[in-house]
Amino acid sequence: MGISVTNKQKFFGLVELDASGRVVFCSPMGENNFSSNIAEGVRGRDFFTEVAPFENAEEFRQCINNFRVSSRQASSINFTCRYKDGPLNVRVLLARIRERSDEHLTKSILVHMRKAQ
């Protein structure tokens, strides 16, 4: 796994990812989350290797890719992030952003992560 720009803090909030998994936009939420300065610094970085500090980020990438190739406009999933200090269940909402010029072409994916209730 790459060096995390979040200093190994757990990520919760909204992130927009392009087709390669790079961060287009990031809005962290909740207490103990990384600062807005770092949030600005993650733009252009690979979410799965540089931002997401959990050990099974590649499994999460596959979930995002499965959504990307599906025909669904939105979806929600439960996912267990494996951190060094133990697993954490999260609720993930996914939404597709399409190109204006071609409604069949996905421009990016919105990912909203929060702790599962």
Q: According to CATH, what is the number of the domain 13-115?
A: 3.30.450.20
Would the pLDDT of 4 be above 50? Answer: no
* The pLDDT value given to residue 42: 86
**Domain range annotation of the chain:** 13-115
Least confidently predicted of 48-52, 86-90, 104-108: 104-108
Q: Of 63, 74, 6, 16, nearest to 36 (Cα)?
A: 6
Q: With 60 as the cut, is the pLDDT of residue 32 above it?
A: no
Phi and psi, residue 16, nearest 5°? -105, 130
**pTM of the predicted structure, to 2 decimals:** 0.81
Question: With bands split at pLDDT 50, 70 and 90, how would you rate the model's confidence at 90?
Answer: very high
The conformation of residue 44, written as its DSSP 8-state character, comes to T
The predicted pLDDT at position 5 comes to 47
More confident residue, 48 or 7: 48
Does position 41 have pLDDT exceeding 90, yes or no? no
Q: How far apart are CA 18 and CA 75, in angstroms?
A: 17
